[in-house]
Structure 1
């Protein structure tokens, strides 16, 4: 799709000329100005870098992020796992400080790593809390449950169950659902 100059002619109509390469306006409407040419060149260079990065990612088989909140949740889980592993190492220490050859006391590396993991996990969890992640997940779960109930009702209605079989539905379906969670 070929773009047109974003400027307007003196009569108010849109300009029909093509903009300069990487720019938004044609040469007549300011595209020849050095700062406009420089900005267009920077834009073209950025587009080229982005296209190259996308080509590399496509070649390597990386897919784009489809659900940023899900990815953030995974990162939070990984940060929590690192925190837990670091906590185990700190708990195994006999002392939390070390003394250098020069006689300077400092915290053990494991303690610093644990503190960093705690901070990182806290930031991820804070981002998730501010994003309303759990509320969104709950709404999706409720929608899924609603669809499941509708499908079950439709299936059971089509089966034309006897009254005694219909009475069993209230017992059998919850048992089957509990079995899924076991």
Structure 2
């Protein structure tokens, strides 16, 4: 794993998705399916309810941890640094090819890099 920040944010998205899926399954239960009787006559909540409660708890803890670590801001900073390094490399390549005085090329490249950085900094890593 080369980027633990992205991996943790992806895990959070998966955990939230699983919690939402469980919530959907729970909403489909009939009233008599929420609680069952054990062999000894004691009531117990359904496995769906227990799983959903655990998912709520774990989702909450993970999101609090991510908030404490300020991971989304760190991911934006990493993306910005990567974009800056890429921009420097492109400008150096343009200078090597004697194209650094082409302001139209520089503006077009800068615009494309800004657009790519904006897409990369979205939490979902969106696509164009």
TM-score bucket of the superposed structures, by smaller chain: 0.5 to 0.7
The correspondence of residues 82-93 of structure 1 with structure 2, limited to 5 A, is 82-93=18-29
Q: Deviations over 1:85-111 (max 9, x none)?
A: 211211221226335277766543212
5 Å-filtered alignment, 1:61-72, equals 72=8
Please report how far the alpha carbon of residue 154 of structure 1 lies from its aligned counterpart in structure 2 after TM superposition: 1.1
What residue is the counterpart of 2:74 in the other structure? 136
2:109 and 2:69 mapped to 1: Cα distance? 38
Distance in 2 of aligned mates of 1:125 and 1:88: 21
Distance, in Å, in 2 between the alignment partners of 1:83 and 1:150 is: 43
Q: Scaled by the length of structure 2, what TM-score is found? A: 0.65
- The root-mean-square deviation of aligned C-alpha atoms, in Å, is 3.5
The structure with the larger Rg is 1
Task: Extract unaligned runs of 5+ from structure 1.
Answer: 1-64
Matches within 5 A, 1:3-82: 72-73=8-9, 75-82=11-18
Report what 2:107 is aligned to: 170
Number of positions where the alignment pairs a residue of Structure 1 with one of Structure 2: 117
Partners of 2:10 and 2:19 in 1: CA distance: 14
After superposition, what is the alpha-carbon deviation per residue over 1:102-125, rounded to whole angstroms, capped at 9, x for unaligned? 776654321221121011011011
State the structure with bigger RCO (CA 8 A, min sep 6), 1 or 2: 2
Once residues 90 and 7 of structure 2 are traced to their aligned partners in structure 1, the CA distance between those partners, rounded to angstroms, is 32
8 Å Cα contact 2:94/2:100 also seen in 1: no
Name the CA distance, whole Å, in 2 between partners of 1:68 and 1:151: 25
Question: CA 1:113–1:148 in structure 2 vs 1: closer, same or farther (change >3 Å)?
Answer: same
